Amino acid sequence: MVSMFPAVLVARKDGDLVSQNAPARRMVGEGVGELCWDVVGGLPQAEGLPCEPGCVGRILSRGPGHSNRSEIRLAGRRHYLTCVAADDVVVCLLDGDAEQAPEKWQLLTSRERDVLSLIAAGLETGAIAEELEVGESTVRSHVQNMRAKLGVGTRAALVAMGFRLGYLS
């Protein structure tokens, strides 16, 4: 049911889904504009889903980088649902292989891991540059390199993949 890439859904504080990737569309159908807890919570043959009205707002209220990770069962197989607060959205990953180690091409440098941790903490480019005592263009280069290595297009997805691959806890 889950492809080699995790299903990724992005929801605003009010629970409205604003984005989802192709694996998520294959799994739950087109959910953009619907409530996250209805879309994910309505997965057929799912057991142990923590989805309920207001769950997205509760995750966001705990601050950037906060995550909820739940082991669930889909069609009798173990999967993980990880929802991460990033900026002012929650990124949810549904993955059957959440414990895998990064592939060689997904390995991040020490500085990239520093930048990723600060992104997960909610810092913007300027604040990250100041914290690491580098230029903003250097931070943008690290972000672009990480996006390419991890195959994601947004900072929120970058944080979510960071959790999936064990770079963030």
C-beta of residue 80 within 8 angstroms of C-beta of residue 102: no
Q: Tell me, what's the pLDDT at 98?
A: 46
Q: Is 146 exposed, middle or buried (0-12, 13-18, 19+ CB in 10 A)?
A: buried
User: For residue 137, what pLDDT is reported?
Assistant: 96
pLDDT for 108 equals 85
Domains and CATH numbers, the chain: 7-95 (3.30.450.20), 104-164 (1.10.10.10)
Distance CA 44, CA 3 (A): 16
pLDDT per position in the chain (169 positions), as tens?
A: 334 567 889 999 999 999 998 888 888 889 999 999 999 988 877 888 899 999 999 999 988 777 888 888 876 677 888 898 887 899 898 876 544 555 666 678 889 999 999 998 889 999 999 999 999 999 999 999 998 888 888 888 888 888 877 788 6
CB atoms near residue 78 (< 10 Å): 13
Encoding tokens for residue 123?
């810092």
Retrieve residue 106's tokens: 């997904």
Q: Which residue in this structure is represented by tokens 């049911």?
A: 1
pTM: 0.60
Q: What is the pLDDT of residue 143?
A: 95
For residue 77, give the nearest of 22, 163, 1 by alpha carbon.
1
Quickly list DSSP for 64-100.
TT-EEEEEEEETTEEEEEEEEEETTEEEEEEES-TTP
